[in-house]
Structure 1
Amino acid sequence: MEKCPCGSGSALEACCAPIVGGAPAPTAEALMRSRYTAYVLKEVGHIERTHAAEIRDTFSREEAEELARAVEWSGLEIRAVSGGGTTDDTGTVEFISRYKMNGQIQIHHEKSAFRREDGQWVYVDGEMNPKGPPRTVAKVGRNEPCPCGSGKKYKKCCGA
């Protein structure tokens, strides 16, 4: 059995092949994985039919076919999933796909938005190279209790 390109560890026939063939995706993540698999298999029709209605007109089948021909896909990593379950109407999937194009290794990092349209999951849009919330660091005064929990002043403990 051929393993599914989406990285799920399942056989292609039991994972993405039915969805690429037209079966409904049960979750937003399953649709995301099937769209990656469709690029690997050069099944551009699946990519086209899983676009939301408002962006379907902007899809260029020729460009997608050229991309599928020009790229050697090497892996998909799902970073985060929010919503998009079997009972949800919207969801997001953050992923990284790796590929080789023109002899160079490339990375595509995206946070994709999905929603149900007539009972089917569809791709709505994506944010390229999403950034997490900014990190904040609280400054500890010299005479404040040490954040390590020792009970000593910061200047006599970790700040020494």
Structure 2
Amino acid sequence: MTSCPCGSGQSLELCCAPLLAGAAAATPEALMRSRYTAFTQANAVYLEDTLAPEAKEDYDRAETEKWIKEAKWNGLEVRSSSEDGDNGSVEFVARYSLRGKPFAHHELGSFKKLDGRWVYVDGVMNPRAQQRVVEKVGRNDPCPCGSGNKYKKCCGA
């Protein structure tokens, strides 16, 4: 029993192999994991088959095959995934080496469901987390709770 390259902790036979053989992915994350596994197996046909029609316009199978065969795949980290109806997203980091140099591909991938199957649409490279904005309230400013009192006499007391 071989461990799945996608890092799910399951065997390849129970995890990504059924998807690579043609089964539909249940979630955007499952599709992302299977696509990573396809990269590790240099399966450019699967990568093309799981693209949305608009993403296929720029896809070059020969170039992809050349690149993925040269790379050594070192692991996948799924940071988050979400699903909202027929749309989904997965933030992930795929680690690989190319000509002996290590690389990390950090992406927020977009997915959609077409005819009951999840497909990869596009991605944002190196997504940044939303910045938390903290508003400083001065002692003599109106209290943000809406009481009408000064902050120092209300919540700041």
**Structure 1 stretches of 5 or more lacking a match?**
153-160
* Secondary structure, aligned partner of 1:12: coil
TM-superposed CA distance for 1:42, in Å, is 0.9
**Runs of 4+ in structure 1 displaced over 3 angstroms?**
140-145
Counterparts of 2:94 and 2:47, CA distance in 1: 15
Counterparts of 1:140 and 1:105, CA distance in 2: 46
TM-superposed CA distance for 1:119, in Å, is 1.2
Counterparts of 2:44 and 2:111, CA distance in 1: 18
Counterparts of 2:82 and 2:24, CA distance in 1: 19
User: What residue in structure 2 maps to residue 89 of structure 1?
Assistant: 86
User: What residue in structure 2 maps to residue 158 of structure 1?
Assistant: none
What amino acid maps onto 2:43 in structure 1? E
User: What residue in structure 2 maps to residue 11 of structure 1?
Assistant: 11
What amino acid maps onto 2:46 in structure 1? H
**Structure 2 stretches of 5 or more lacking a match?**
141-150
TM-score, normalised with respect to structure 1: 0.84
TM-score, normalised with respect to structure 2: 0.85
1:109 and 2:88 are equivalent in the alignment = no
What amino acid maps onto 1:13 in structure 2? E
User: What residue in structure 2 maps to residue 76 of structure 1?
Assistant: 76
Q: Deviations over 1:38-96 (max 9, x none)?
A: 00011111100000012212110011101211111111011111116xxx311000101
Aligned-pair identity in percent equals 49
Count of matched residue pairs: 145
